[in-house]
Amino acid sequence: MTGSPSGRADRLVAALATAGPDETPLDALLVTNLVNVEYLTGFTGTNGACIVSGERRMFLTDFRYAERASEIEGWDVEIVSGQWLEGLASRLSGRTGFEDDQVTVRTANQIREAADAAEMVEAGGQVERLRRVKDSDEIERIAEAARMTDELYRLLLDDGLAGRTEAEVDGWLTGWMREQGAEPSFPPIVASGPNGASPHAEPGPREIGTGEMVTIDMGVRLDGYCSDCTRTFATGGEAHLDSLSREIYEVTLRANEAGLAAIRAGEAGSAIDEVARAIIREAGYGGNFGHGLGHGVGVEIHEAPRLGPSSQDVLMAGEVVTDEPGIYISGATGVRIEDMVLVGEEGVARNFCSIPKQLTFV
Ligand code: ZN
Ligand code: ZN
C-alpha cells in the first residue's frame, strides 16, 4: 500500500468541475493508469481501475485480486468477470473523462464503442496534477528515501572509486538498495571520464581511473516513493585534475545554486530553468547543457511539474522537484549536480540531498 490515499478521491472529485476539454465539467473520471490507481487507492496489483464521480468511488479489478481488493477502504470494490474493457465500459455513464495520455487509440476506441451510456472525453493528466502537491506523509516517505540515498553516497565514498569498474559500482549500489528493502528508482548512472559527457550514460566495463570526474546519479524507491540525487566526484588528488573539468564543475555548481535560489511557489518552471541556464551560457557552455533543469519526484521518478525551457508549469508549495544542471563536453568529461527539494512559498523549504557539493576528491 502506498501513501494515505484518504482524501485524494475527494480532491479528484473537486477537480472534475473543470477536468474536461477547455476546462469543461465532467460527471465522472475513469482512471486506468496503474500508478494513478495506486495513488488513489493504495492497490499495487497489475490490473485495476477507478471510476470516480460525485456519487461513486468504484474500484475495479479481476478475480485474481478479489482478496487484496477487499482491503481497500473507502471504495466500492467490483470484480470484473469476462472482458475487462467491456466490464469497465458497462459501468460508465454521463460525461466521463478518460486518461487519453495513457491509453492506446485502439483501447480508447474500444471503450467508446462499449460505453453506450457515457460520453467519453479526453481528460488525461488529472491525477498527475493532484500528485504534484505532496501531503506530509508523502514528504516523510520521500525524505526517508533521500536519507537512504545519502547514506549510500557516504558508504560509497568511504570505499573510493578509482580502480573499480563502473559496472562494479553500479552492482554494489543496486545490491545495497535491495538489501535495505528498497529498489533503484531508476538504473543508477555511474559515468567516469569521457563517459560523463553523456547525461544518460549506462555503467559499463570501464575502469575508473585517477584524475577523472565520476558522475553518479541515483535514487531509491522506498515505501512507494522515489528519491533522486546526483553528485560528481573527482578521483585522485587536486594535482591530477585537468583545468577544464575543474572549470565546468564550478560553473555547474553556480548554476545549481542559482536554480535553488530561484525555486519558490508561483515561479514558472521555464523561468527557473533560465536562471540556471543563463549562468552556463554566459560561461560559454550554453551548447553543452542539453536537458531541462529539473522534474517533479513522487511515486514516479519523473513526474509533473517540469523545470525546462518549454515548461508551462508554475510551481506550487508542497511540490518536490529536482535542480540538476549539467555540462557535458563530448569525448572529454562531464559534470551534473542534482538536488531534490521541497518547494515552499518563499523558496526552497527543504533540501533532501545532504551530500556536500564542493568538489570532493575521492
Ligand atoms: Zn537524477
Ligand atoms: Zn533527476
What is the distance in A from the centroid of ligand 1 to the CA of 156? 17
Distance CA 357, CA 360 (A): 8
What is the distance in A from the centroid of ligand 2 to the CA of 321? 8
What is the distance in A from the centroid of ligand 1 to the CA of 105? 32
Mean pLDDT for each 10-residue chunk of the chain (362 residues)? 68 93 95 95 94 95 93 94 94 96 93 94 95 96 98 94 97 97 97 96 96 98 96 95 97 98 98 98 98 98 98 98 98 98 98 97 94
**Residue 30 corresponds to which cell in the numbers above?**
475513469
What is the distance in A from the centroid of ligand 1 to the CA of 114? 42
pLDDT for residue 1: 43
**C-alpha separations of 207 from 162, 193, 195, 237 in Å:** 7, 10, 11, 18
Give 10's contacts (C-beta < 8 A, 6+ positions apart). Answer: none
Ligand nearest to the CA of 188: 1
Ligand nearest to the CA of 149: 1
Is residue 325 within 8 Å of residue 259, measured between CB atoms?
yes
Ligand nearest to the CA of 297: 2
What is the distance in A from the centroid of ligand 2 to the CA of 298? 11
What is the distance in A from the centroid of ligand 1 to the CA of 99? 27
What is the distance in A from the centroid of ligand 2 to the CA of 325? 10
Instruction: Name residue 165's beta-bridge partners.
Output: 207
What is the distance in A from the centroid of ligand 2 to the CA of 177? 18
Residue that is written with C-alpha cell 533521500 in the block? 146
Domains of the chain: 8-132 (3.40.350.10), 136-351 (3.90.230.10)
Give 53's contacts (C-beta < 8 A, 6+ positions apart). Answer: 13, 16, 27, 28, 29, 94
| Rg (alpha carbons) of the chain, rounded to whole number | 23
